[in-house]
Structure 1
């Protein structure tokens, strides 16, 4: 599906149109006009119409943009930014669809389960822009694109500032998606920390491993996206206007903060896994102490029983009226002595 936003500089209005109103090529766009073409789960024909005829891109760019469709086994492309003679090419990886909503919804409904996103593969958002045209491409519906479109529909005048400003809104919405996820992960780790000390179990370890996978994937993506934004805010690219750099810097600051929080969460997950192993080891040691104490008591009682179970003819206690109670009393006294010694040594 192709969605088109067109800022008509002559009429000073932003229109939502179709591909039939697109100029023949990006070079034919009238001065002052701005076009945003969004390709959501496009077909090969739609990709060819936009990236082949309207906004022709380099073969390497086309390969990176269509990577998921052409080579699904290779997965999504990692975040990057490249400058070509007549356009800027950016790749970003938003959060998997449904991850943020599922985490927040489960936090309100049941704090125990850690939900799985609808897809384990990270989406890919590709963007190609010049001074008057922005083309975004993705194979899955993305909340950040919908949020940016909703904002521009309410504030149509902002489209006139150019594709670089429009793309900033997409990146800003994408980075803001991390906020509820990071908060939910931090709350989940605090909850697991309490449970680990109270009742370490394989189920808790499985939750920690799932959290570690999520945090590690987010950290990898955030570090690469931070590098992309750091290049955008340094003024390396002429297609990003100087007056828009401050907006990209604001997005960069948010991304740096979330990267630091995810880094702290990763360290906490590692610490909790070590704590879990220590807690399990401590519990095992306690169990072994109890079993050793029981074995020691049994051994003492076995010695007494063994003495009086010997088949010797001259054993006065065997025919004594109180011999049996005496043997039981000796066993009880010896067992009590073992327990008292263990407590005195603080072994139990």
Structure 2
């Protein structure tokens, strides 16, 4: 209870505008961005709290915490939230603009985490333009007495997570740090699911690239490699923040919660190794496909050269007897035409069999 009171006093000190000075929910100032909000006490959603102002008052007293979920809020809406909870301007700027790198930053007693969400895009046949991995972002402001989640992208909804946590009061009883862990755990679990789906695509393209004329699928390999890089950009930078959350002491992260963060960190390392292996394997497949292109081009050149050599013999003979000189050998011979055709056919047949035996044709 003492720790809770300290958190409450810290929250009250941070709120320079005073308790309940901005009724953001009731005034409709968050319309279009607000997904859900609730006040949680002892791990339970407190339905007795009838207004947002009352929830803030109780959170500032250290009786629980407020969880506000936002979807693509405007700069003005985030500015109002920042004024209410004393959020750092740099963190608000990052939350306004999407396409941030996964990171964890500490501003006083508030943690600001950016996590990349990913989604596997189902497709019948992988093409050179198929979108395989779609990414979004979840920003989490985690402070004494409050959690604010800002989501960018059409996937990565947290409504289902909120409902699951409400069925597990023990996890919500861990406070804002417990919510941060639950979000990170869900994001990393999604990484594992997407990585398994991408593995199936890689297995398929690997079989196709080594089939006859498989080099024709080289554009699909390149496209899949780009999609794997999208997944890699979401997974790799997150290892540092997860390691910090699992090892660094912070008032919002209880020791038991750090143990759970270590489990998330372990899963993240596993999926990171898997994604790195995807990248290396696709690079090898791409090189193999390019080698097949070169081999195929060499084979085509040999075939062309062989046919040119075969056609050169009758062309030479026809060219000689097309010179129109009066005193050419056998020019008046009765069977000269037929013998000339026979020589051409014999020479072409010999050359054809020779090139065929040497696998040039």
> How would you bin the TM-score normalised by the shorter chain?
0.7 to 0.9
Aligned-partner SS, 2:136? coil
Of residues 152, 158, 171 in structure 1, which corresponds to 2:184? 171
How far has the Cα of 1:327 moved from its partner?
A: 1.3
Question: Does structure 1 residue 39 correspond to structure 2 residue 70?
Answer: yes
* RMSD over equivalenced CA pairs, Å: 2.7
- Per the alignment, residue 91 of structure 2 pairs with 61
- Per the alignment, residue 72 of structure 1 pairs with none
How far has the Cα of 1:311 moved from its partner?
A: 3.3
How far has the Cα of 1:292 moved from its partner?
A: 0.7
How far has the Cα of 1:263 moved from its partner?
A: 0.8
Bigger helix fraction: 1
How far has the Cα of 1:130 moved from its partner?
A: 3.0
Of residues 221, 226, 232 in structure 2, which corresponds to 1:219? 232
1:148-297, aligned counterparts within 5 Å? 148-197=161-210, 198-200=212-214, 204-297=217-310
Aligned-partner SS, 1:57? coil
Aligned-partner SS, 1:88? strand
CA distance in 1, matches of 2:191, 2:256: 26
How far has the Cα of 1:323 moved from its partner?
A: 2.3
Question: Does structure 1 residue 4 correspond to structure 2 residue 37?
Answer: yes
Q: Note closer, same or farther for the CA distance 1:171–1:224 as it changes in structure 2 (3 Å cut).
A: same
Q: Note closer, same or farther for the CA distance 1:156–1:239 as it changes in structure 2 (3 Å cut).
A: closer
Question: Which 5+ residue runs of structure 2 have no aligned equivalent?
Answer: 1-33
CA distance in 1, matches of 2:356, 2:35: 77
- 8 Å CA contact 2:175–2:252 kept in 1: the answer is no
CA distance in 2, matches of 1:256, 1:346: 50
CA distance in 1, matches of 2:198, 2:293: 23
CA distance in 1, matches of 2:130, 2:57: 46
Alignment deviations for residues 308-339 of structure 1 (CA, whole Å, 9 cap, x no partner): 33434455644444322221111111112212
Aligned-partner SS, 1:123? strand
Q: Note closer, same or farther for the CA distance 1:227–1:13 as it changes in structure 2 (3 Å cut).
A: closer
CA distance in 1, matches of 2:70, 2:39: 15
CA distance in 1, matches of 2:248, 2:52: 33
Task: Give aligned pairs, total.
Answer: 324
Question: Does structure 1 residue 13 correspond to structure 2 residue 27?
Answer: no
CA distance in 2, matches of 1:5, 1:217: 34
- Per the alignment, residue 30 of structure 1 pairs with 62
Question: Does structure 1 residue 116 correspond to structure 2 residue 131?
Answer: yes
How far has the Cα of 1:294 moved from its partner?
A: 0.9
CA distance in 2, matches of 1:316, 1:210: 65
Of residues 341, 347, 351 in structure 2, which corresponds to 1:328? 341
How far has the Cα of 1:141 moved from its partner?
A: 4.8
Which TM-score applies when normalising by structure 1? Answer: 0.82
Q: Note closer, same or farther for the CA distance 1:117–1:332 as it changes in structure 2 (3 Å cut).
A: closer
Q: Note closer, same or farther for the CA distance 1:333–1:91 as it changes in structure 2 (3 Å cut).
A: same
CA distance in 2, matches of 1:21, 1:275: 65
- 8 Å CA contact 1:4–1:38 kept in 2: the answer is yes
How far has the Cα of 1:2 moved from its partner?
A: 4.5
- 8 Å CA contact 2:130–2:223 kept in 1: the answer is no
- 8 Å CA contact 2:114–2:137 kept in 1: the answer is yes
